[in-house]
Amino acid sequence: MCPEGFFVRKPSPQISDLGHSAPQSGAQGAPKAIAMTTTTAKKLTFEEFLEQYPDGLGIYELVNGQIVQVEPTRAHKNVARYLVKSFDREIERLGLDYIVDKDIVVKTVTNFLKEQGRNPDVSVVSASKWNSNVMAYGALTEPIQLAVEVVSTNWEDDYVDKLDEYQRLGIPEYWIVDYLALSVALRRNRF
């Protein structure tokens, strides 16, 4: 592990080296974010997940010791892209010390102390923290300032699992953008 809660990862295997399960379909024919799980002989730790992360081949999370590929719908991506641009403009306008990104992996822990690797749809992190180790990959073990999840059909992950994990990590603010129901949930941790 690198200083300041960053991880450095080794070159990853090719997607052909990983075994995947078939994509799942949503309820009543609704589009569902595709989740594909790699098959591994043992449950991976967060560090092992980063070492095996398939670079440039999609979005992946570590869930219950397995590498899971998540492919959001176009509508989901459009909402996340709008938020990244909006946050970025506002940060620049106000001269704040933040960076906004959609490719930051955050180490979380479940209530059973299982290590997870989550990739929020939008992350806001202190620029000074981010730039303290610019040679590290985009994986953090410390709380970011804001995590935003855009809900497609994986609502239980966002409303239950990630809410609990982000709260355990100490992320002070978590937004759930539920564009299908046209509502936004806001969760602030009080410490």
Using 50, 70 and 90 to split pLDDT, how confident is the model at 71? Answer: confident
7-36 average pLDDT score: 41
pTM given for the model: 0.74
How many domains does one find in the chain?
A: 1
List, for residues 118-169, the tens digit of each pLDDT value: 999 999 999 998 998 877 777 899 999 999 999 876 777 888 899 999 999 9
Query: Which is higher by pLDDT, 148 or 36?
Result: 148
* pLDDT at 179 (0 to 100): 82
Q: What is the pLDDT of residues 41-63, one digit of tens each?
A: 689 999 999 999 887 788 899 99
Q: Residues of 92-119 as b/e, b for ≥16 C-beta within 10 angstroms?
A: eeeeeebbbbbebbbbbeeeeebbbbbb
Least confident among 3-7, 108-112, 121-125, 132-136: 3-7
Q: CA of 158: how far to CAs of 41, 81, 88, in Å?
A: 27, 18, 23
pLDDT bin (cut points 50, 70, 90) of residue 184 is low
**Are the C-beta atoms of residues 99 and 113 closer than 8 Å to each other?**
no
Percent of residues in the chain assigned helix, strand, coil, to nearest 5:
30, 30, 40
Q: Judge contact between 139 and 105, C-beta under 8 A.
A: yes
Which tokens is 189 given?
């941790």
CB 167 within 8 A of CB 176: no
**What CATH number is attached to the domain comprising 88?**
3.90.1570.10
Find the domain containing 180 and state its range. 3-188
Tell me what pLDDT residue 187 has: 61
Cα gap 1→59, rounded to integer Å: 22
Residues 57 and 65: their CA atoms lie apart, in Å, by 19
pLDDT at 28: 43
Q: pLDDT tens across 76-96, in order?
A: 999 999 999 999 999 999 999
| pLDDT at 38 exceeding the cut of 90 | no
